[in-house]
């Protein structure tokens, strides 16, 4: 298996490994394939030149992202109204760009050729570059992080302790040790023991409860309007949209909290507040119900627009989305990106970030952490409101991606935030996947996709802090970075002595 050298056969296997890796994620959910895919990739990086390792890493990235983010085409073509050629080109560029990161990992791993420390340095490199991709590049794109594929495996026990990146490191370490076990025949028993300890310890950690009940159960209704993206913003449909949400809401005044999805109201807050929302708020107050509603908000300055969430009823407040989606809610790399998209006749939104320092909203007398769509992909953002917050609320509109794998992937990502914080997650979406998620990341209830419905259930407000909520991603990454630096220095000293 390891006599690969510069074989083209292994180049092809790297591409297949990328596809296998993505099959570990929702909606496929073959979690074991994440280990298989990474093992094949890491094996393909043994005893080759840095340039060949870079190529194989790129092939892996094309396989993983080519399948894993194929939904970008639907957004650009079906709802961005780009032609087939333009949408295909932009999707290919998108996939090709993110494939650069596993390629970079391969190149760097081939530079570190020590046969023993490489067992650890390779997964360290993998995790640190994943963090770079997921947090720093283009405002962060943490899609297809290995840990998200392991929510149902024993590795999930590490999530409330070391988060997505720490758990992803242990997944990568597993694959690296397996490769070493195959290569070093005289150390197979030790290698197998290391893998067994990692996975058994994760299973034992799943039995630990990190947070506790903070009050009595809250009855919640999640409204899924299921209005397709191509019809949502048509002026002639606005009244029918408002009436639909009003009707679905009025049937559930017995709930303590009712939540509408992202930009459920296809109009600015100033246009609908007095004639529509204010009377609705008064009715909610009479029924002792709190409404959580998402609506675009105009700022004071010209062109200042926010993607917002407001609360109505007993408690009133406002949250403005801070972590914006590149190329969806703002255009990076200006003026080049704007010029290219204008040339292709693709019009995208241009929102303003709401800022980090925003007070927590309240519903049912409890503060909660709010995230709008893409914000639920960032663990550090979810823990910023702890320990005060009693639950999580995510409002999303995945209607941009049609009947693709994206809504399933996005729900899987959101579930990670519930595990990391030890809180219930309430997720209201336009077309799906609307769901109740427990503190253990398990889906309690889920609405069918593309169906106008109201999902009702109960959650318990929680208190307490998981270890991850105290540490955050930065502490985990700092430790991994220091470990990598230490191993590199150790290797360089060893090489100098030799």
Q: How far is the CA of 426 from the CAs of 221, 311, 371, 491, in angstroms?
A: 9, 15, 10, 48
Q: Check whether 208 has a pLDDT greater than 70.
A: yes
**pLDDT of 478 higher than 70:** yes
pLDDT, tens digit, for every residue of 17-67?
Answer: 999 999 999 999 999 999 999 999 999 998 899 999 999 999 999 999 999
Q: Which of 314, 329, 373, 406 is catalytic?
A: 373
Q: What is the pLDDT of residues 399-445, one digit of tens each?
A: 889 889 999 999 999 999 999 999 999 999 999 899 999 999 999 99
User: How many Å is the Cα radius of gyration of the chain?
Assistant: 24
Helix crossing, 159-183 with 467-497: angle to 10°? 30
pLDDT per residue as tens digits for the range 315-369: 899 999 998 887 667 666 554 444 444 544 545 567 889 988 899 999 999 999 9
Q: How far is CA 454 from CA 381, 410, 439, 445, in A?
A: 28, 20, 22, 11
* 262 carries an active-site annotation: yes
What domains lie within the chain, and their CATH numbers?
A: 8-209+473-497 (no CATH), 212-465 (3.60.110.10)
Catalytic residue among 118, 232, 314, 321: 321
Helix axes 50-68, 32-44, angle to 10 degrees: 150
Among 232, 262, 375, 406, the active-site one is: 262
CB atoms within 10 A of CB 283: 17
Residue 427 — φ and ψ, nearest 5°?
A: -125, 110
Q: With a cut of 50, say whether residue 280 has pLDDT above it.
A: yes
Rounded Cα distance between 220 and 395, Å, is 14
What is the number of other CB atoms lying within 10 angstroms of the CB of residue 450? 15
How far is CA 412 from each of CA 275, 427, 437, rounded to the nearest angstrom?
A: 38, 12, 10
Q: What is the DSSP letter of 151?
A: T
Identify whether the C-beta of residue 432 lies closer than 8 Å to the C-beta of residue 398.
Answer: yes
Report the pLDDT value the prediction gives residue 93, as an integer from 0 to 100. Answer: 94
Using one digit for the tens of pLDDT, what is the confidence trace for 382-401? 999 999 999 999 999 988 89
> Residue 425: beta bridge partners?
392, 437
Beta bridge partners, 320, equal: 308
pLDDT digits (tens, 9 = 90+) for 221-248: 999 999 988 788 888 999 999 999 999 9
Task: Please say if 321 is a catalytic residue.
Answer: yes
- From 351, 292, 300, 298, select the one nearest 321 (Cα to Cα): 351
For residue 49, give the 3-state DSSP assignment: coil
Q: Which of 336, 317, 264, 271 is nearest to 298 (CA)?
A: 271
């Amino acid at each position: 298996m390891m006599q690969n050298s510069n074989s083209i056969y292994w180049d092809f296997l790297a591409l297949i490994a990328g596809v296998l890796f993505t099959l570990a994620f929702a909606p496929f959910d073959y979690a074991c394939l994440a280990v298989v895919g990474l093992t094949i990739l890491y094996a393909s990086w043994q005893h080759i030149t840095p340039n060949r390792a870079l190529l194989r890493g790129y092939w892996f990235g094309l396989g993983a992202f080519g399948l894993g983010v194929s939904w970008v085409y639907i957004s650009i073509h079906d709802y961005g109204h780009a032609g087939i050629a333009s949408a295909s080109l932009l999707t290919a560029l998108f996939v090709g760009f993110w494939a650069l990161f596993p390629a970079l990992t391969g190149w760097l791993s081939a530079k570190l050729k020590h046969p023993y420390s490489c067992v650890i340095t390779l997964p360290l490199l993998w995790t640190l570059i994943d963090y770079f991709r997921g947090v720093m590049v283009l405002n962060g794109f943490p899609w297809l992080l290995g840990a998200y594929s392991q929510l149902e495996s024993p590795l999930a026990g590490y999530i409330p302790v070391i988060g997505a990146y720490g758990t992803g490191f242990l997944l990568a370490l597993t694959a690296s040790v397996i490769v070493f076990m195959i290569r070093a025949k005289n150390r197979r028993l030790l290698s197998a023991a290391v893998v067994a300890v990692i996975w058994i310890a994760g299973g034992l950690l799943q039995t630990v409860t990190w947070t506790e009940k903070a009050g009595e159960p809250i009855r919640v209704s999640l409204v899924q309007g299921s209005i397709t993206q191509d019809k949502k913003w048509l002026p002639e449909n606005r009244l029918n949209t408002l009436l639909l949400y009003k009707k679905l809401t009025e049937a559930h005044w017995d709930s303590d909290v009712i939540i509408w999805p992202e930009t459920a109201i296809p109009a600015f807050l100033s246009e609908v507040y007095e004639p529509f929302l204010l009377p609705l708020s008064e009715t909610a107050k009479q029924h002792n119900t709190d409404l959580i509603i998402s609506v675009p908000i105009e700022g004071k300055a010209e062109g200042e627009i926010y993607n917002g969430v407001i609360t109505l009823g007993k408690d009133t407040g406002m949250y403005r989305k801070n972590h914006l989606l590149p190329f969806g809610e703002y255009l990076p790399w200006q003026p080049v990106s704007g010029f290219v998209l204008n040339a292709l006749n693709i019009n995208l939104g241009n929102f303003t970030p709401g800022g980090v320092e925003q007070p927590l909203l309240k519903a049912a007398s409890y503060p909660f952490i709010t995230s709008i769509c893409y914000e639920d992909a960032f663990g550090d953002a979810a823990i910023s409101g702890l320990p005060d917050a009693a639950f999580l609320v995510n409002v999303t509109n995945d209607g941009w991606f049609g009947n693709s794998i994206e809504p399933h992937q996005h729900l899987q990502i959101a579930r990670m935030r519930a595990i990391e914080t030890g809180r219930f997650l309430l997720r209201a979406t336009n077309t799906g996947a609307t769901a109740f998620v427990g503190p253990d990341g398990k889906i309690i209830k889920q609405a069918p996709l593309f169906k106008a419905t109201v999902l009702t259930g109960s959650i318990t407000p929680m208190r307490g802090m998981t270890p991850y909520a105290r540490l955050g991603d930065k502490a985990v990454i700092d430790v991994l970075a220091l470990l990598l630096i230490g191993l590199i220095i150790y290797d360089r000293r060893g090489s100098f002595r030799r």
